[in-house]
Structure 1
Amino acid sequence: MQNEHRPPPADDFVLFRESMQDVAPLQPLNQAELALKKPPAIPLKTIEDEQQVLLDMFSDEYDPTELQPGDMLSYLRPGVQHRVFNKLKRGEYRVAAELDLHGLNIRQARAYLAEFLVTVYPLHGECVRIIHGKGNRSNHRGPVLKTKVNHWLRQHDRVQAFHSARPVDGGTGAVYVLLKR
């Protein structure tokens, strides 16, 4: 006859449950966890590439304009209404974010500015203020960061317009920048 698998009689189940009624499971002690959790993958090369793109976004090959510490910076991308630009010049937009660059070297300033322009998303307005300083301590070279910021901002796609700030907001040592939403 074939070896058939038959379930045990019902009496065996009842007997087993009765005998195990007061049994409590043992707590595991000093057991190693066999399934080790893998650390999250960190795409280091992707992060490096993205940081390099931010740095390369601004070219230093430019026609150096002789800027003086008191010179106004002003730029209007084609297509932006003059009414909007005049409002920016008068400082009538709420400044939603601010970046202070003065005191940094060119490499640091470029990295901070690139990251700021990519990551800042003003909620209620599209105006930000960037403080570059007037360049009073640049000796005979003129305002270094001011010249660089003037050139870098013109190259960025999000920048619609910029103008030197009102005296109360930094004057010619800062700019209001109108960003695309």
Structure 2
Amino acid sequence: MNEKDLDPFNTDDFALFQEAVSGVKKIKQDTVQFKRSAVRFRGDVVEEQQRQHSAEFYFSDDYVPDIDTSGTINFVRPGADRFLAKQLRRGDIAPELILDLHGLNKDTAKQELAALIHACKRHHYYCACIVHGIGERVLKHKVPHYLVQHPDVLAIHQAPLEYGGKGALLILIDIPEL
């Protein structure tokens, strides 16, 4: 190996490089970022609008239900079997869908909750898990308040450890009989 091979500014290599890249044009960055709902098929846009409408209709920030969100969250809709909450607590009913709300704000979380409930009803899923995390506790307190307002939610309970513990909820959806 000679001194010329060790020179990082070898003029022969530089000349070869210039020759290889001659005629290459610089790429212009013209990528357009679309909103999430803009890049959908026509049927999906209608579904997105229905989801936003149901989120605005069912989930109010002003309504404060009589549930304690500082401890173990436990709710069963009036008229439903109280044993449902115990089944959720023990993990007897496994969730068929899992929704992760990490990083979302309240408004987006409302839309995702409405979509989850809609998807559960459409696919006849009885149980779902909502992972809200703990963080600054905004969603931890708001998500149960939103869910209690929805007429299709039968029961809510803090998830067992295998599904997220204090950072998640298990919900049961009222599925109509076929």
TM range (shorter): 0.5 to 0.7
Asked if 1:151 is matched to 2:145, the reply is yes
Q: Relative to 1, partners in 2 of residues 1:123 and 1:45: Cα closer, same or farther, differing over 3 Å?
A: closer
Task: Please tell me whether Structure 1 or Structure 2 has the larger radius of gyration of its CA atoms.
Answer: 1
Counterpart of 1:102? 102
Provide the secondary structure at the position in 2 that maps to 1:95.
coil
In structure 2, C-alpha distance between the alignment counterparts of 1:88 and 1:44, rounded to whole Å: 32
- The one-letter code matched in structure 2 to 1:172 is K
Counterpart of 2:114? 114
Computed over aligned residues only, the root mean square deviation of the Cα atoms, in angstroms, reads 2.8
Provide the secondary structure at the position in 2 that maps to 1:133.
coil
The aligned length equals 132
Deviations 1:8-55 (Å, cap 9, x if unpaired)?
xxxxxxxxxxxxxxxxxxxxxxxxxxxxxxxxxx58996675244223
Q: Which 5+ residue runs of structure 2 have no aligned equivalent?
A: 1-41
Structure 1 runs of 4+ aligned residues shifted over 3 Å read 42-49, 63-68, 121-125
TM-score, normalization by structure 2: 0.64
In structure 1, C-alpha distance between the alignment counterparts of 2:94 and 2:47, rounded to whole Å: 33
In structure 2, C-alpha distance between the alignment counterparts of 1:51 and 1:67, rounded to whole Å: 26
CA contact (8 A) 2:97 2:127 kept: yes
1:1-181 alignment runs, 5 A limit: 50-56=50-56, 57-63=58-64, 67-68=69-70, 71-121=71-121, 126-135=126-135, 138=136, 143-181=137-175
TM-score, normalization by structure 1: 0.63
CA contact (8 A) 1:100 1:130 kept: yes
CA contact (8 A) 2:76 2:84 kept: no
CA contact (8 A) 2:55 2:110 kept: yes
Q: Which 5+ residue runs of structure 1 have no aligned equivalent?
A: 1-41
In structure 2, C-alpha distance between the alignment counterparts of 1:164 and 1:118, rounded to whole Å: 21
In structure 2, C-alpha distance between the alignment counterparts of 1:158 and 1:179, rounded to whole Å: 6
Deviations 1:125-144 (Å, cap 9, x if unpaired)?
61111111123xx2xxxx10
Provide the secondary structure at the position in 1 that maps to 2:148.
helix
Q: Relative to 1, partners in 2 of residues 1:43 and 1:171: Cα closer, same or farther, differing over 3 Å?
A: closer
